[in-house]
Amino acid sequence: MLNHSCLNKLLKQFSGRRLAVLGDVMLDEYLWGGVDRISPEAPVPVVQIKKETWRSGGAANVAANLRSFGSGAHVFGVIGDDGAGRKLCEILRADGIATEGLIVDSGRRTTVKTRILAQNQQMARIDKETTEAIDYECQKAILDHLTRILPDLDGVIVSDYAKGVIAGDLLGNIIERVKKAGKFVAVDPKLKNFHLYKKASLITPNTREAEAVLGRVFETEDDVLRAGADLLKISHSDAVLITRGEHGMSLFERNKKPITIPTQALEVFDVTGAGDTVIATFGLSLATGCSMTEAAEIANLAAGVVVGIIGTATATVESVMNHFDRIHLRAAAPDNETT
């Protein structure tokens, strides 16, 4: 278990790292408003929009999480030749994220997720996207550019939202080249592409994704333990981290006993983007030389920060440290009251 001093020291080392994020980038659009009547046209609320905001989403949000910790971030993916793609690039560049790895494909549309919120509650989500696999030329352009900058990277994070970027032989080639260079590849997976993640350093499915891969429901802790062992065998990966919501996280490493880390969330308002924060923080922890267990502890804390914020969010060194202190103050409160 990390103490305050050790955690602070490790988090401050994040600023010296450089990681690449490969995957499905998105633009997250938020329409904020209020509701005071029901539509006469249908039994639905009428939302009066008062504010619009935009954030990077999907793989782009993983890169934003890296930058919020002060590390260098290069994002690789595909956008359309459209206003949403240009808006996303503008946001990324303003955050200091390198976008040379983003390929513009005029035959696709940039993925946009529009969330309508009233009184801070999400009322609806509208998705605009292209999900067909990217073509050979896009794959080659991504592979060539990532290979060129690989010597300057500490590792690669793959953020797969099944929108078409993780396709064909692209990921297999990347995993082979990155691991040959002595660096890690951490994957936030999707069911349809699970067969493409073989030999990754780390795979981070949530419970639902792990159940879908194995074709069974986890009803007990023993079920989860068996699942971790099976996923290690199927994926040939070095480690599997099953994220389990209110039940925390379970880490499985080859030739080691599994470890379950209880959730560190104090409030849960919105789980949007929590997986992005987990994979980004885990990757940064590995890049600083942390063990898998230490990386899982830090990622768990960072996830506890972002689920307490409405909308796509990122964590920082300061917010993680504050969260750590709040957890320990709350744990100590009953003892303090009895003395």
Check if the beta carbon of residue 171 is closer than 8 Å to that of residue 76.
Answer: no
Each of the 339 residues of the chain gets a pLDDT tens digit; together they read 788 899 999 999 999 899 999 999 999 999 999 999 999 999 999 999 999 999 999 999 999 999 999 999 999 999 999 999 999 999 999 999 999 999 999 999 999 999 999 988 899 999 999 999 999 999 999 999 999 999 999 999 999 999 999 998 999 999 999 999 999 999 999 999 999 999 999 999 999 999 999 999 999 999 999 999 999 999 999 999 999 988 889 999 999 999 999 877 666 665 666 889 999 999 999 999 999 999 999 999 998 888 877 766 788 999 999 888 888 777 766 554 443
C-alpha to C-alpha distance for 313 and 303, rounded to whole angstroms: 10
pTM of the prediction? 0.91
Rounded Cα distance between 67 and 280, Å, is 10
CATH of segment(s) 4-26+55-112+128-337: 3.40.1190.20
pLDDT of res. 16: 87
Query: Parallel, antiparallel, or unpaired: how do β-strands 121-128 and 111-118 relate?
Result: antiparallel
* Residues found in the chain: 339
What is the Cα–Cα distance from 19 to 63, expressed in whole angstroms?
8
Q: Provide DSSP, 128-190.
A: E---SPP-HHHHHHHHHHHHHHGGG-SEEEEE--SSSSS-TTHHHHHHHHHHHTT-EEEEE--
Choose, from 144, 276, 325, 335, the residue flagged as catalytic: 276
Alpha carbon of residue 109 to chain centroid: 22
pLDDT for residue 147: 97
Cβ proximity of 263 and 300 under 8 Å? yes
Instruction: Give 206's DSSP letter.
Output: B
Distance CA 31, CA 85 (A): 18
In a 3-state reduction of DSSP, which class is residue 56?
strand
**SS3 state at 261:** strand
User: Do the bridges between strand 202-203 and strand 184-188 make them parallel or antiparallel, or are there none, so unpaired?
Assistant: parallel
pLDDT of residue 338: 41
**276 belongs to the catalytic site:** yes
